[in-house]
Structure formats: structure tokens, C-alpha cells
Structure 1
């Protein structure tokens, strides 16, 4: 098997590494920094937007672990490690929690070779797979070893759907949900141009120029991803408005281009 680092293309920007760069991480290349700088020139609020998307993941993961008792999680398109990671959030609530991270970016997978600082009571693993091939995820030995499908699972699909084009987008989410038992939850964020269409549209064009086609969705389309599920209050809303915690910073709606929601699988 090839080392994941050997598959890394340092001549083209990658969404996970651009995200890492804009969030202030260190796991990127000059091409990613150049792409990130270009996107921020188009929309200076992009770092605010990305941070709030990350904070939604923190709150949703904590909510599922703390209030709903979820003890196993499947994080699709996990991206590069940025502390606190999902396992740190949920194991902080329940140390026995198990988390599977899924990604197919070689830079992300190179990090998977290093020991993860999870709790000794719980478990954390990576699966090298693309969301567009759900069978590879659900058929993985690690999926079968770590997840007990007699117990509910928290499916996290954060900050990735804007890179999945119709008509394969909604069927992919349904195929990931299908093997999960009743009582599971879907936490998801979905990119939109509803609040700053010109600026976000320019960012989408920049992603396209960088060979990372992006799809933006309106509220009705974002909500349709949760058809057949029971939305948790406050439903589908901008990520910074989903159950904000104490000390939540004031954020201009025009600076957020992501809807988010958590929903229950009956």
C-alpha cells in the first residue's frame, strides 16, 4: 500500500488544506495559502464563516453526547485535525465514546498514522474512503469493529456537501443513514449564498478556478436533506444561530454562508 503522503499533490490546492490554512493551522502548502488568500480577498468574512462552521460541529457533538446519550460517531469528510476535534468533544462528555473519522485526502490520512490522543476508555479510528462511495465506508472492517449498529450513531457531515453536486448529493446522505439504527442522528452543514450572494459567489468561482467545484443551496434545498427525519429545534438555521452557547460572539448574518441542523432518525 502506498504511503498516503506519496499521494499528496502539492501543486494543486485542496479544500481540507485551504480550510486548515484559513483557520490558522500548519498542515498546508504554499498553493493552499495562495488559494485561501485569494478567497479571503473576495470575501474577508471567510475566516469568521469557517470558524462558526467548526463551532457548530463542537456544539452539535456535545449536544448529542451530553443530552442524547450518543456514544458512537461517524464523521464524514473529517478534514485535518484541529483541536478540539470531535473525539475530544464527545469523550470529554463520555470517555467511552467511539469516533470514526472518514476522509480520502492524503494529507489528512498521513495524520491518521500518528497516535490520536483519545481517552483510554474510548476508541478513535480513520477510514480511507470517499463519501461518494458509501459502501466502502460501511463495509470497512473498522466500521464493523467500532460501531455497534444495535445502538444509535451520530452521523456528522460537516462542511462537505457544497463539494457534492446533484443529483448524487441527497442519495449519498441517505445511503450513509440507511444502515444506522433508529435513534441515530444526522448533524450536517450545507453551504449557501443566501446571505451574501455576491461575495460568496466570488468565493465559489475561486474554488472552481482551483479545481474544487462548489454548489451553494438555498434554505428549501438545505432543508430537503432532512426529509424523513425529525429536526431538533431550532431546525435548519445559519450555523451560528444553532443553539448558541454562553459567550457566543455577535456575528453578522452576512458573514455566514452555512446552514446547519441536527435531526433524529425515527
Structure 2
């Protein structure tokens, strides 16, 4: 398979391309496929868990919009998923995107997609008339996201974004590519309005064999970004300063506020997820304190 972006040299797999392959999409290169098959070779259920993670992101974002009446959603690290952006176009991944799920519950809500992967951005530029609009943004540089000039100048966004009001931020399978996810969550606490909701999913090494974790880590060494598997306790700690919504941190196959969604859980590869709400009164934090 090929994709737009002739100026790019595909010498390493794109993490977005690997994910697209696992999701059953069509926007990947031979190098992406090779890395994805290495992941599957270690953990055969990886495609199924990737799809459940994708469903989780849309399901929880839609729940947050419906539950709290939030009308602005930031989908950060969106990847190669045709059918996202502010034009609401359906595309190649055979699953409902965050945007589709959100608009199913509130057609007037705005969903803004971001990525820092040059492959994703080239793909979006090449298909812009049909594809929507993916903004360049890096989760480790929140200024690039919340101060992006298009939030106020793009004709489909101008006047629709108000950061003094709650927002939903989706970080689906993003923070396990970040060295310091706690800093990202602290930055969101400082920037977002009370009542905002962050949706997080993260690969975990808890209750998974070290052999499989090591194998998947080696497979992602072939990609543009290494993956970092963390303990469930480390992932849960990312919600410090937030109020965890029921059912808390669980496998993405099991997340639903009423327990009605029950997918099959696999021990060979696990991705856990949570939704956390920013309270009206946040605890005092020592911004000078260091950490390990």
C-alpha cells in the first residue's frame, strides 16, 4: 500500500501507519506493515485490542459530550484515520471515528484533530478537500495545540472555540509514546476549564508477560516513536488532580459508565483506559517539586 506524501522518505515505520494497519485501514507502507506484523507475531490479539481502543475513544468522547453538554473536542494524536477533522468525512478505517461518535450525539459539536507525525500531516494535506483538516500539534507542547492560529482564523472554527468553557481532550494510545505523561496531564489541568474531560488510553505491562512486552517494544523500535509500557498504577496516577469517572481505570474493552459494554479481554496485550473530569476546585500543587 502507498499513501500521499511523495517528499517523505519512509526509512522507518510510522507509529500512525502501524496503528492504521492494526485497525484494518489502507493507509500504510510496506515498512509499516512489517512493524505491525512483528507486533502481531508477539501478540496475535493486537489488531483486536487496537480496534477496541479505537472504539473506546469514540465511545467515551461521545459519552462526555452527552453527559456534560460539552461541545468542543480536541482529538490529539489522531493518526492516519480518514474520516476525522472538521468536515466529517467517512474514510478507510472500518470503524466510527471520534468525530463520527461525537456528532452522533451532538451534530453541532466541533471536533478538532491534531498530530505531529509528518506522514499524517502529508496525508491530510493531500486529501484536504475530501478529508477535513488536521492541525499540526504536539501533546508535549500544549501551546502548539491550544494556541494554534487556526482555532481563531479557520472559517470552520472561528468563533466556535472558547477555552474558558469545558472541553473534551482525547489522548487515545498517545501517552505511551511520551516520556513524561504526568507533565502533559499537569499542563492540561492548568489550561483547561473546570468540568473538562480527558480521555486516556495507554498500553500496560501489568498482568502481561515480560516476554510479550519486550517483543512489542522491540517491534516499535522499528517505528518512528518507541512505545513505553507502564504499570497500571503509573497510569492511574496520571489522574492526580482529576476526578475519575466510573468505572475508573479498566481495560478499554470494559469501559462504560453503566457496565453495559463488555468486550473480550486478552492477557497477551492490554490497553487500559479512563475518563477523568477536572474539578471546580483543584488542589494546590508544588510546580517546583521534582520527580523520578
Change (3 A) 1:6 1:174: farther
Report the alpha carbon displacement of residue 125 of structure 1 after superposing the two structures with TM. 4.1
Q: Cα distance, 1:7 vs. partner?
A: 5.2
Query: Displacement, 1:9?
Result: 2.9
**Which consecutive residues of structure 1, in runs of 5 or more, have no partner in the other structure?**
118-123
SS in 1 for 2:5: helix
1:101 alignment partner, SS class? strand
2:137 to 123, 129, 136: 129
Quick one: distance in 2 between partners of 1:248 and 1:99? 24
Give the structure with the higher percent helix: 1
> After TM superposition, where is structure 1 displaced by more than 6 Å over at least 4 residues in a row?
244-247
Measured in 2, the distance between the counterparts of 1:212 and 1:128 equals: 17
- Equivalent-residue separation in structure 2 for 1:80 and 1:211 (angstroms): 14
For the 8 Å contact 1:192–1:259, the answer to whether it is kept is yes
Q: Which deviations, in whole Å up to 9, do the C-alpha atoms of 1:185-228 show, x marking residues without a partner?
A: 01101110113222233111221244532211111100111101
Contact 1:62 1:89 in 2 (8 A): yes
Offset at residue 90 of structure 1 (A):
0.8
CA distance 1:252–1:184, shift in 2 (3 Å)? closer
String of CA shifts for 1:33-88, please: whole Å, max 9, x gaps. 11111111111111111011111112101201222211110111011113422111
In the superposition, the TM-score normalised over structure 2's length comes to 0.80
The answer as to 2:159 corresponding to 1:159 is no
Contact 2:254 2:262 in 1 (8 A): no
Q: Quick check: 1:84 aligned with 2:100?
A: no
- Cα distance change on mapping 1:181 and 1:211 into 2, 3 Å: closer
Query: Is the 2:12–2:222 contact (alpha carbons within 8 Å) kept by the matching residues of 1?
Result: no
Give the aligned length. Answer: 255
1:171 to 180, 183, 186: 183
CA distance in 1, matches of 2:45, 2:207: 12
Shift of 1:6: 5.1
What TM-score, normalized by structure 1, do the two folds share? 0.88
Cα distance in 2 for partners of 1:53, 1:38 equals: 19
CA apart distance, 1:110: 3.1
Match of 2:54 in 1: 54
Q: In the alignment, what sits opposite 1:40? A: 40
RMSD: 2.2
Query: Do residues 232 (structure 1) and 245 (structure 2) align?
Result: yes
Q: Per the alignment, do residues 176 and 6 of structure 1 end up closer, same or farther by CA in structure 2, a change over 3 Å counting?
A: farther
Equivalent residue, structure 1, for 2:117: 105
* Cα distance change of structure 1 residues 148 and 250 upon mapping to structure 2, 3 Å threshold: closer
